[in-house]
Amino acid sequence: MEAGGLKLYPYQSYEVYGLSRNPFEQLASEGISDVESIHVYQEIDMRLQMIISEVIGNKSSIAMSIVGPLGMGKTQRLKTIAKTIEENHGKAIYVKVDTNDILKLTRDIFYALKPPKSRTNIFLENLSRKLGFIDRLEKMLSDRDEYKSRDIAELLTEQMGKYPYCALLLDELENMGSASEREKIQFFEMLRHFISNMPKGCIVAFACVPEAYEEYSKIFPAFFMRLHYEFKLRPMSIDETYELVKKRLNKVRIRDTDDPIYPFTEEAIKLIHQLGKGNPRQILRLLHYVLSEASKHKFDPIDDYVVTTILEEPKSLEEYLTRIPKEYKDLVEAIVYEFNGGPVSYIQIAKAVKRPGIQVYDQLNELIRLGFLVGDPKGNYKVPEYVRKFLEEGQAENEEE
């Protein structure tokens, strides 16, 4: 709207930069419908395309691992494999591992093979039960002592071999890390047998963080020797970060510009790349926060000085809490208000916020990576020292009153 010849922008409007919205808000690829249009292709993507083409074209069978820290794009790569298999009328089983219970995890894999319920499917399921397939599986998944790795793998091979192409994709495999060593060996033994007898046109791929990958490979080297490829994701280069910024901004531009990275300057992006250590998710978080704060104050352009000003150390507890990503805010508030800043274990925090322990554990470690929390040698979590000072100052004021 116009007022006295000046154009006024509503609060938190990005129109001042010729943008319809903040393009860095969506961090995960799952929530983006046309993710290919904004994906920054790296060497691993080209190699994956070659591998998938080999499987589709020659009915090859391939097993691989994708290893990298949180936020490096592991899930997106697995989803790309799944999409290609399904586009070629195959069956892709994608399981986001959310348990350390190998019985539940194995059930999740087989459950993904079940078609939607219908009269015909119920009939076929009853027939399968009569033939012994379901009864055998349920018996082996009823108790860890009944878990027969080879037999389960053979059943999986038999079921997946019914499709022209298939894929078994396990994401966030680090989440089964707290299972007993015996259970890990049982599960990896099942996977090893499956890989040894994969149907034609099959891809087995799993993704996990480097620490878990190293631990698993020590426990069960025989399985890891069966892998055909091992992909270790590397941080984004500065040129790839420029491309990321250009692609995201281009999707929401409502006004043409000669500068594809406007409103950012090259120096600003270099600084954000440095602060994010090349991790795509951290870079996106920083870009989202900086653009959001800059738009409130109408900083134009957003240069390295603006970035430094926005990201400098908070001046109060309230400012610190304001900067916490909204999906993690309840965790930090619990640490601050219920545990006086910590140190506190992830189990205590999970109970306080009434959320699953594994989910809380992952998010607390993400907060450490983002610099909002600090870990200690005992595996506990606490606020940074400057936040501790805010808490002590608040306590002193309360005592004086």
Q: Give 166-180 pLDDT, tens digit per residue.
A: 999 999 999 898 889
What does the pLDDT read at residue 171? 94
Least confident of 29-38, 93-102, 280-289, 374-383: 29-38
What does the pLDDT read at residue 367? 86
CA dist., res. 209 & res. 74, Å (int)? 9
370, 282 contact by CB (below 8 A): yes
- pLDDT value at 101 more than 50: yes
Domains of the chain, residue spans: 43-232, 236-311, 325-400
Q: 75-79: long-range contacts at Cβ-Cβ below 8 A with a sequence spacing of 24 or more? A: 75/28, 75/29, 75/30, 75/171, 75/172, 75/207, 76/29, 76/35, 76/39, 77/44, 77/45, 77/48, 77/207, 77/231, 78/169, 78/171, 78/205, 78/207, 79/29, 79/30
What does the pLDDT read at residue 239? 94
CATH of 236-311, one of 4.10.860, 1.10.10, 1.10.8, 1.25.40: 1.10.8
Average pLDDT, the chain: 85
Q: Give 230-241 pLDDT, tens digit per residue.
A: 999 999 999 999
What does the pLDDT read at residue 224? 92
196, 121 contact by CB (below 8 A): no
What does the pLDDT read at residue 269? 96
20, 14 contact by CB (below 8 A): yes
pLDDT cut 70: percent of the chain above it: 87
What does the pLDDT read at residue 120? 47
User: Domain spanning 43-232 has what CATH number?
Assistant: 3.40.50.300
What per-residue string of b and e applies to 94-120 under the rule 16 or more CB within 10 Å gives b?
bbebbbbebbebbebbbeeeeeeeeee
User: Domain spanning 325-400 has what CATH number?
Assistant: 1.10.10.10
User: Which token pair is 201?
Assistant: 């046109």
User: Which token pair is 314?
Assistant: 């908070």
